[in-house]
Structure 1
Amino acid sequence: MPVRTGKSNTTTLMEFVLLGFSDIPHLQWMIFGIFLFLYFTILMCNSIIILITKTDPALQTPMYFFLSNFSVLEICYVTATMPRMLMDLCTQKGTISFYACATQMCFVLLLGGTECLLLTVMAYDRYVAICNPLQYPVVMSHKVCIQLVAASWVSGIPVEIGQTYQIFSLPFCGSNKINHFFCDIPPLLNLACGDTFVNEMAVYVVAVLFVMVPFILISASYGKIISNILKMSSARGRAKAFSTCSSHLTVVVLFYGTATIITYLRPEASHSAETDKVLSLFYTIVTPMFNPMIYSLRNKDVIMALRKLLGK
């Protein structure tokens, strides 16, 4: 709904239309059913992880404290996009108000940044556990763990609110159709009028701070971890050390490989609306669905806790 200003001929959009999967109308209900199933699967699997890490005595360690928080984050992350997408598939309208769009973008950016930081904290936890095992109880005390998690959740709030405000301060005076299933930065910048160079540079700066820097820290941590593991004389010790890290490393590769680097750090000229939509499905839906499975299937402690829970 465009509103014309009194002193000029420009118009300001008061609502957008999320196109989503409107290009395949004959498959709308099938897609709705698939995504509804995936949403409940994500909620159930991550809730189980939270439950067992809170109740099982064997899982009262920093690693599982971080895993529990990571599952909470995944539930929040997927809830920021999927309910809205399911409603749009059901109603086949896709209209979203200006402020609702801004709110959704802010939460998606904030939770995405938190995920990058929390993955970094989890990598640091594994680094201390394997490279400095004698100092681990002191370095990763419960107080420190809470501080690290709180910092991961809070650090991005002012930055992402500022970035959202900056983008939604742009004039949107043309089409109001967003070729996406949620309010994301690239499709919104495509709708903005005038020069968006400053906004694009701001996106890259924030991406470097919240994506590339954590990725470099994670890579450095695992470089040290792998070097330390290879120096172990016991084959059993090496296998155990690798098993405690492999799940987290798989999640890191899955999240970074399909999402942030490809979506936000590739050249603007290579952006494609359809490609962005497919990639977004990976990091907003597929990754949160597979994460609890990855941690469950590759972790003996989690499997034992699940068996106890099912036994009860």
Structure 2
Amino acid sequence: MAQLPAGWVPQRPTRDVGVDFVVVICEAGSLNGHEFRVQVKTSKQFKKKSNGVTIAGVKRSTLDYWFVSPVPTMVVAYDHDQRRGYYRWHSEFHEDLSRLQADAKTQTVSLHIPTQNVLGESAWEDIRQALLWHHRNLRSALRVARDAESVLPTIYGLAAAVRQLNSIDHQSIPEAQRTPEQEGLLVLLEMIQHRDVIKATSRLLGEIVRGSEGADRLQAWIDEYRSAVSNVFPTFVQFPEGDEIPSDFEFAYAPSLMQVVRPRLMEAALELIMLLTPGGEAGGEAAGRNRGREETRRDGTRTP
């Protein structure tokens, strides 16, 4: 926190959502109003390998949440003895996530962070450029989704599902006092909400040109959301699309993991709602003025 530039405000989440805090940027310029997440891992002696440090034991559910959220996450390894931090963006751990998804038995992964990425005064300009690149491309990619006919039904569907998930999360009957029938009904209701989130976003995806960046971004969000839900509900991929649930359907689930993942998925759905509403776009007026102008990629090339 001491390393943050002036006007970059750290806020701790009120619940465990897979990060230590969210940084809201309050400064003049294109980044004003944007935010990113930070996860800090600290050690007195990190294992060092190939010009980097290794963070061991990162949970699958945590990595899933970093990817299901459209907001970038900065992962920081803080070396207590050296009093030095190293950082890397969550998107650079995609191969690690793919490895986890390929091996369902593996529940944790070790992450590598280059020691050249020192978190200090000289790094903040690179961090600013990375954040600008992320938010500009995300805004550009989802702009076409906001113009789709089904965007309002999609937002309504997402909001309705989050409302129901919030009700489940604040269930008045303590878990220890629920009957098997009550617990089964809540599990069924939760699976329906997650299914409806995917159905709503898939309907929107169907209106976007396949192969476009917007379609790829939305498809990736759906895939990561489904993966996170499947970690809690192993039979979710077989869950029926209609209202009729076969009597022999197996409602397998991981109760302790469900309590952790549910608020994270609710947060991810709310973030997507904000991105799909023009009024929720930070710097929206500037984005509107720039509509149709060229976008600059990180490698310096430009695209109309």
TM-score by length of 2: 0.29
Greater RCO (CA < 8 Å, at least 6 residues apart)? 1
Q: Which structure is larger by alpha-carbon Rg, 1 or 2?
A: 1
More helix by share: 1
More strand by share: 2
TM-score by length of 1: 0.28
